[in-house]
């Protein structure tokens, strides 16, 4: 079993003791738990590239808006510990709220502009919560490398920017989205979907294939591609609402004409579940 720490001080003492014994590179995988194949890919990459891997499991309240799924977000630390053991994780940090947000906390981290587009428009405050907790976790663990999935592409871009802007000495390693065999991206929120809703959720991946096919056939007009994607997605019965379909360059600047390497980003509601996904244009 990996060592489990609830307190940052204890984690730091442990890592300091290890450092006195030997030199090692430290990989860090921050998660909100309920680990799935997507997380496993992050952990495996960290294990490949580092001698020691720390995984954090913390459902961060400040990145959930009012009326969002903070309370019902799936939690199962025993299961997460078993997954971490199976993958050879050395240490799990599962801090309490008080450890992360000591009473009287007044400091927040906010990445301007990047936090205001796409997800930021629909989830105000979300990225301030993410940027703040990731900064705290990076300070707590002080890893050489930290691993983030491309599934949350905007989050990845914000974290790359914040470590650059705040001079945090860590390499951010992006890891490709892991999909189920039928194309649905792994997400902890997939557990909310009924089988019928899951079928409608597949429209996201299939709309990416549709867009890619249009691009392969020579279509480069973003507006036309987005319109076709929207029409296709909305033909699925359980899709309640599309928050956005956007085509951007890799830095999230909107594009009118699509090229290889651009990103197509989608957020939508299937029943009462909000899903996001994105696609790198090939
Ligand atoms: O991607 C997530 O699971 C979370 O946003 C993160 C990075 C662990 C911060 O709470």
CATH class of the domain comprising 3-175:
alpha beta
pLDDT of residue 57: 98
pLDDT of residue 246: 98
Locate the DSSP E strands across the chain.
Answer: 3-5, 26-31, 52-57, 91-93, 145-149, 171-175, 239-248, 263-270, 273-280
pLDDT of residue 14: 98
Which ranges in the chain are annotated with CATH 3.40.50.620? Answer: 3-175
Which ranges in the chain are annotated with CATH 3.30.1300.10? Answer: 188-277
Residue among 137, 155, 174, 188 to mutate when testing ligand 1 (max atoms within 8 A of CB): 155
Burial, 182: exposed, middle or buried (Cβ in 10 Å; 0-12, 13-18, 19+)?
Answer: exposed
pLDDT of residue 56: 99
Question: Strand, helix or coil at 63?
Answer: helix
pLDDT of residue 29: 99
pLDDT of residue 224: 98
Which residue ranges in the chain fall short of pLDDT 70? Answer: none
pTM: predicted TM-score of the whole model, two decimal places: 0.98
pLDDT of residue 282: 98
Question: 19 φ, ψ to 5°?
Answer: -65, -30
CATH class of the domain comprising 188-277:
alpha beta
32 CA → ligand 1 middle, Å: 6
Catalytic site residues? 39
Distance CA 282, CA 273 (A): 29
In contact, 258 and 281? CB cutoff 8 Å: yes
199 CA → ligand 1 middle, Å: 26
């Amino acid at each position: 079993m990996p060592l489990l720490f609830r307190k940052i001080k204890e984690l730091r003492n442990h890592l300091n003791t290890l450092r006195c014994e030997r030199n090692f590179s430290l990989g860090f995988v921050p998660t909100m738990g309920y680990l799935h194949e997507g997380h496993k890919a992050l952990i495996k990459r960290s294990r490949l590239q580092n001698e020691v891997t720390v995984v954090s499991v913390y459902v961060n309240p400040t990145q959930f808006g009012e009326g969002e799924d903070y309370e019902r977000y799936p939690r199962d630390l025993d299961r997460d510990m078993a997954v971490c053991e199976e993958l050879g994780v050395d240490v799990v940090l599962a801090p309490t709220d008080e450890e992360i947000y000591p009473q009287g906390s007044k400091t927040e981290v906010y990445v301007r502009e990047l936090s205001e587009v796409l997800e930021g428009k629909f989830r105000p405050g979300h990225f301030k919560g993410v940027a703040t907790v990731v900064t705290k976790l990076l300070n707590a663990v002080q890893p050489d490398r930290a691993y983030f999935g491309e599934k949350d592409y905007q989050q990845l871009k914000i974290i790359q920017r914040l470590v650059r802007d705040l001079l945090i000495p860590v390499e951010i390693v992006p890891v490709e989205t892991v999909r189920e065999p039928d194309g649905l991206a792994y997400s902890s929120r997939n557990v909310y979907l009924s089988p019928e809703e899951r079928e409608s959720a597949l429209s996201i991946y299939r709309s990416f294939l549709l867009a890619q096919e249009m691009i392969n056939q020579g279509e480069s007009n973003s507006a036309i591609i987005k319109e076709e994607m929207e029409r296709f997605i909305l033909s699925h019965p359980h899709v309640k609402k599309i928050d956005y379909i956007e085509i951007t360059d890799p830095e999230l600047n909107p594009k009118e004409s699509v090229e290889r390497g651009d990103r197509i980003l989608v957020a939508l509601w299937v029943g009462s579940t909000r899903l996001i996904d994105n696609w790198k244009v090939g």
